[in-house]
Amino acid sequence: MTQYMLSVHYDPKAPEMTPEDQQKAFKQVDKVNADLQKAGAWVFGGGLHPPEIATVVRTAGGETVTTDGPFAETKEQLGGFWVIEAADLDAALEWAAKCSVACMGPVEVRPFQDE
């Protein structure tokens, strides 16, 4: 089995979900999480706070510097993720489709590098 990261993208410029849509997404994600666990594909998953509260740590020349805010200056940031085990990319993509419907947003699929 290969491990894949299914990452949920967060676009701060996208319209905010209504409280009703948020509750719907939470329930849908809970169901997908249960389905992943039941199938034995679940490794780990979680949602993240907004990127504005991130702290970036850089170390160079023996000095460590921390700065506020997200590392990447992009329109989309990582909003949450799942780590799953799947037999192959096609199986991971099937789970990603279910995750995308559940969280009502795009999900990127990337395999972990072989050790």
Q: What is the Cα–Cα distance from 106 to 9, expressed in whole angstroms?
A: 6
* pLDDT reading at 27 higher than 70: yes
Local structure of residue 30 (DSSP, 8 states): H
Q: What is the Cα–Cα distance from 3 to 47, expressed in whole angstroms?
A: 19
Tell me the pairing of strands 107-111 and 2-10.
Answer: antiparallel
Contact 83/43 with Cβ under 8 angstroms?
yes
* pLDDT reading at 6 higher than 70: yes
Phi (first) and psi of residue 97, to 5 degrees = -60, -45
Spans of all domains in the chain? 2-111
pLDDT digits (tens, 9 = 90+) for 46-104: 988 888 888 989 998 999 999 887 766 666 778 899 999 999 999 999 999 999 999 99
pTM of the complete model = 0.83
Please give the pLDDT value at position 19: 94
DSSP reduced 3-state for 18? coil
Average pLDDT over residues 27-37: 96
Q: Model confidence at 36, in pLDDT bands (50, 70, 90)?
A: very high
Average pLDDT over residues 4-17: 85
Contact 105/16 with Cβ under 8 angstroms?
no
The CATH number of domain 2-111, selected from 3.30.930.10, 3.30.70.1060, 3.30.465.10, 3.40.1260.10: 3.30.70.1060
Side chain identity at residue 51, one-letter code:
P
